[in-house]
A and B are shown apart, each in its own frame.
Chain A
Amino acid sequence: MSDAQVLTPAGTIDWNSDKARRRVRRRYAADRRLQAYGIIAIALAVGLLSVLVASLVRTGFPAFLQTKVDLPIYVDASKVDAEDPASGNYRGLIKAALNKAIPDVPKDQQRSVRKILTSHAAYILRDYVVDHPDSIGKTITLPIALSDPFDQLYKGVIPKHMDALNWVQEEWFERLQNRNVVVEHDGRTSLKLDVYVDPAAVEDGDYVDLARNSLQAYFPRVRDSSLFEMLAPDAPAAIEKAVAEDPAIVGKTVQIYFPVSEHYATLAAGEEPTILNPRFNEAQLAAYDVFVDKGMLRTPFNWELFFNADSRFPERAGLAGAIIGSFYALLVCFMLSFPIGIAAAVYLEEFAPKNRLTDLIEVNINNLAAVPSVVFGLLGLAVFLGFFGLPRSAPLVGGMVLSLMTLPTIIITTRAALKAVPPSIREAALGVGASKHQVMLHHVLPLALPGILTGTIIGMAQALGETAPLLLIGMNAFIPSVENMGLLEPATSLPTQIFSWADSPERGFVSRTSAAILVLLGFLVIMNLVAITLRQMFQRKW
């Protein structure tokens, strides 16, 4: 590009000189660099978005399925009273069914084996029997959800066995192997280490620190006590033995063979040392394997995720309560902010005189749109709960707080929509003798309505994702049943439910949280799609 001998030199720039050519090359390189930075920046932003979505989908997908076992249960008529099926001994029935399905479980292990099933199993059976009284005295096959660890195990989220050593520990050992410190001695994998046999330690008979120090000498920078797990528990005894054999070594530095602990020995043998996942015990896994071998397990779509309310147990927790709570709050928010927002926008855009007060209102609305959401939560807490004494955790209060937050959005978009209606329409209507209010109601508002609706839906979508203010007014209540929900009853919402689940330690809630986020994002996508379609359907060229 800088090969420019075509153009003859001119002025003070000799374009043909090497210097000029280098300079031009540099300038173009800088240009390309800037462009590359831009591409990198965009790639980063888009990449991070994809990582976000991908990690949510990856962790959330398993929660849309639920592992269930088709358990044949004999509904023993002696344990369930046909007159009053609600109060039978269903726990006993489940116990019996399990013992039948998995025979030969030792008595002391039966209890832990029962933990394979959800703690709710007896209630599932009870509900079924109450609905189907004719099943009493028969054997029925009922799909019963597995408890969280086994659900995760079946889905492959967590393993049966885990690596006993992490890769840092393996690296330590590898380093020792490379330095030929790891040797076979007396039929045991041992470390051949230099030990200074400290007379003071010999006197105390405490060889643990001696052994540790000699190992630490190979890793001067490692400050991790798990390093010493490399030594077998009887390693210090090796020093003791050596001292006993030859007391002359006290006060000298000698080589001593320390046996390594079990997992490292396995590693030295070229195998991957594993331990049983601490969530399970052998009896449970044996029982689980029976289910797997008999083909009793399957993973149907997890409708409970949508139709169950919250629960402490991941396999039973669902979003119904949160969805209903969010719906109520949004309903209140819409009922308040839609009419108020339109009325305010119409007034400010069409009727308000230009004076200090209306200027102030305008500035106010713009600033309100940028107030942190948590401050609205404080407002709700102090005014709605504190001053007016409205009930805590209620969707009514949540909706009121959310409506204060969406009002600016709705007012701003409504004003834009009103502005887009050409003045000729107003003038035409005014010209035939309509009053200003009539023009507004009969002509301008109907024309601006699609724009207003679009803005409202976008405002509602924002409100749906808002978390902090709802948290402050307590709309993160634990709602184990959807029966008693109302505007004034304690409730939760989708985003606060996500927050609560994200805080729960059970592994199953990680994937439920991701699933709940996917549901929330799904609602947001639908709302935005509706808004976009609305805008395109009614887009008018004036």
Chain B
Amino acid sequence: MEERPSIQVEAPAVPEKIGGEAPAEQGDPKMKAADVNLWYGEKQALFDVNLEMFDKSVTALIGPSGCGKSTFLRCLDRMNDVIDICRVQGDIRLDGEDIYAPRVDPVQLRARVGMVFQKPNPFPKSIFENVAYGPRIHGTCRTKAEFEEVVEGSLTRAGLWEEVKDRLDEPGTGLSGGQQQRLCIARAISVNPEVLLMDEPCSALDPIATAKIETLMDELKENLCIVIVTHSMQQAARVSQRTAFFHLGKLVEVDQTSKIFTNPADQRTQDYVTGRFG
């Protein structure tokens, strides 16, 4: 594919940005990955990935399916630890601290780095209990009032409070897909994480629900570092300040979102964003 002669194709019209061109690279990165290699058994899935993710901004990871973007995302909160055959090498830092250091407890790490998945996965419990799960296991709330405060706050931030405030006792699985995903976001932010990882959070949702989530991300990024994996270039262009393009397990290019979509440095990025493959 790389050998393909470059044909000048007009860059796609960059959709109207919700996030705006907020200055992204200010100071130290919130998370920094250096020379990350990852193997599933014998098969190497990531090759020397170097990426910086900044606070109060959205970093989008794009690329064709199987390119390793989700795998990389799962490295950031050590979710790959759960898989026996997975082996990670390299240096990933949160606020300058190595998260793979032996002294770091993945349980604490994951409280600081929240995650939202491709398919909404509310627990088969009530809406209230879904959101209260994090505070409950981490012991951040004690009294019923504290729980109610956190649940209301998280649901409000996730833009779901008004829709569910009268049925907090109903099972979370009874909500619509978009509501479920926002419930999962509320669950993830209930313990005030510093980083929020989102793995194609809108791929199972309809456009209206997607729009709601995107607006929500824009609001949340004011206090958070958000990293989102998406297969939709439009979404990446709409919500993110920086975009990283992955291909075959390698990070091809990372830059300001506007630059990636208008004037990428690498030919493969150019081909991908213009829809030649992927």
- A13 touching B97, Cβ below 8 Å: no
Q: Contacts of A7 on B, CB cut-off 8 Å?
A: 94-95, 97, 104, 108-109, 112
Mask, B93-132, CB within 8 Å of A = 1, is 0110110010111011101100000000000000000000
- B105 touching A1, Cβ below 8 Å: yes
- Tell me the smallest distance from the CB of B104 to a CB of chain A, in Å: 6
- A27 touching B191, Cβ below 8 Å: no
> Interface SS of chain A: helix, strand, loop or mixed?
loop
- Tell me the smallest distance from the CB of B265 to a CB of chain A, in Å: 35
How many contacts between A and B, using CB within 8 angstroms?
Answer: 50
- Tell me the smallest distance from the CB of B246 to a CB of chain A, in Å: 27
- B112 touching A12, Cβ below 8 Å: no
- Would you call A3 an interface residue if the criterion is a C-beta within 8 Å of the partner chain's C-beta atoms? yes
Cα distance, A27 to B193, chains bound together (Å): 19
- Which of B17-25, B77-85, B134-142 faces chain A? B134-142
- A10 touching B192, Cβ below 8 Å: yes
Cα distance, A1 to B194, chains bound together (Å): 21
- Tell me the smallest distance from the CB of A142 to a CB of chain B, in Å: 67
Mask, B175-218, CB within 8 Å of A = 1, is 00000000000000001111000000000000000000000000
- Tell me the smallest distance from the CB of A17 to a CB of chain B, in Å: 11
- B111 touching A13, Cβ below 8 Å: yes
Contact (A11, B192) CB under 8 Å given A6-B97, A23-B139: yes
Interface size on B, residues (CB 8 A): 21
- Tell me the smallest distance from the CB of A352 to a CB of chain B, in Å: 36
- Would you call A258 an interface residue if the criterion is a C-beta within 8 Å of the partner chain's C-beta atoms? no
Cα distance, A10 to B139, chains bound together (Å): 15
- Would you call A8 an interface residue if the criterion is a C-beta within 8 Å of the partner chain's C-beta atoms? yes
- Would you call A2 an interface residue if the criterion is a C-beta within 8 Å of the partner chain's C-beta atoms? yes
Mask, A376-387, CB within 8 Å of B = 1, is 000000000000
- Tell me the smallest distance from the CB of A14 to a CB of chain B, in Å: 10
Interface centre among A2, A7, A11, A20 (most CB of B within 10 A): A7
Q: Contacts of A24 on B, CB cut-off 8 Å?
A: 105, 107-108
Other A-B pairs, 18, CB within 8 Å; known A8-B97, A13-B138: A1-B103, A2-B108, A4-B103, A4-B104, A6-B104, A7-B94, A7-B97, A7-B104, A7-B109, A7-B112, A8-B95, A10-B192, A10-B193, A12-B191, A15-B108, A20-B139, A23-B139, A28-B107
Q: Which single member of A4, A8, A12, A13 contacts B105 (CB below 8 Å)?
A: A4
Cα distance, A7 to B105, chains bound together (Å): 10
Of all chain A residues, the one with the shortest Cβ separation from B111 is A13
Cα distance, A12 to B138, chains bound together (Å): 10
- A11 touching B191, Cβ below 8 Å: yes
Cα distance, A1 to B103, chains bound together (Å): 6
Cα distance, A6 to B106, chains bound together (Å): 12
- A13 touching B103, Cβ below 8 Å: no
Q: Which single member of A1, A3, A6, A12 contacts B140 (CB below 8 Å)?
A: A12
Cα distance, A23 to B140, chains bound together (Å): 10
Q: Contacts of A10 on B, CB cut-off 8 Å?
A: 112, 192-194
- B193 touching A11, Cβ below 8 Å: yes
Cα distance, A24 to B139, chains bound together (Å): 9
Q: Contacts of A27 on B, CB cut-off 8 Å?
A: 107, 137
- Tell me the smallest distance from the CB of A201 to a CB of chain B, in Å: 73
Of all chain B residues, the one with the shortest Cβ separation from A15 is B108
Mask, B249-277, CB within 8 Å of A = 1, is 00000000000000000000000000000
**In the A-B complex, the 8 residue pairs with the closest CB atoms:** A11-B192, A6-B97, A23-B139, A10-B194, A12-B140, A4-B108, A1-B105, A15-B108
- A2 touching B194, Cβ below 8 Å: no
- B192 touching A12, Cβ below 8 Å: yes
Q: Contacts of B109 on A, CB cut-off 8 Å?
A: 7
Of all chain A residues, the one with the shortest Cβ separation from B98 is A6
Mask, A1-42, CB within 8 Å of B = 1, is 111101110111101000010011001100000000000000
- Tell me the smallest distance from the CB of A431 to a CB of chain B, in Å: 37
Q: Contacts of A1 on B, CB cut-off 8 Å?
A: 103, 105
Q: List, sorted by A's number, 28 A–B pairs whose CB atoms are closer than 8 Å.
A: A1-B103, A2-B105, A2-B108, A3-B103, A4-B104, A4-B105, A4-B108, A6-B97, A6-B104, A7-B94, A7-B95, A10-B112, A10-B192, A10-B194, A11-B112, A11-B191, A11-B193, A11-B194, A12-B192, A13-B138, A13-B191, A15-B108, A23-B138, A24-B107, A24-B108, A27-B107, A27-B137, A28-B107
- Tell me the smallest distance from the CB of B132 to a CB of chain A, in Å: 14
Of all chain A residues, the one with the shortest Cβ separation from B94 is A7
Q: Contacts of A6 on B, CB cut-off 8 Å?
A: 97-98, 101, 103-104
- Tell me the smallest distance from the CB of B136 to a CB of chain A, in Å: 11
Of all chain B residues, the one with the shortest Cβ separation from A3 is B103
Of all chain A residues, the one with the shortest Cβ separation from B189 is A11
Q: Which of B120-166 contact A (CB under 8 A)?
A: 137-140
Cα distance, A269 to B137, chains bound together (Å): 67
- B137 touching A13, Cβ below 8 Å: no
- Tell me the smallest distance from the CB of B138 to a CB of chain A, in Å: 6
Q: Contacts of A3 on B, CB cut-off 8 Å?
A: 103
Q: Contacts of B103 on A, CB cut-off 8 Å?
A: 1, 3-4, 6
Cα distance, A244 to B137, chains bound together (Å): 84
Cα distance, A88 to B138, chains bound together (Å): 93
Cα distance, A188 to B9, chains bound together (Å): 120
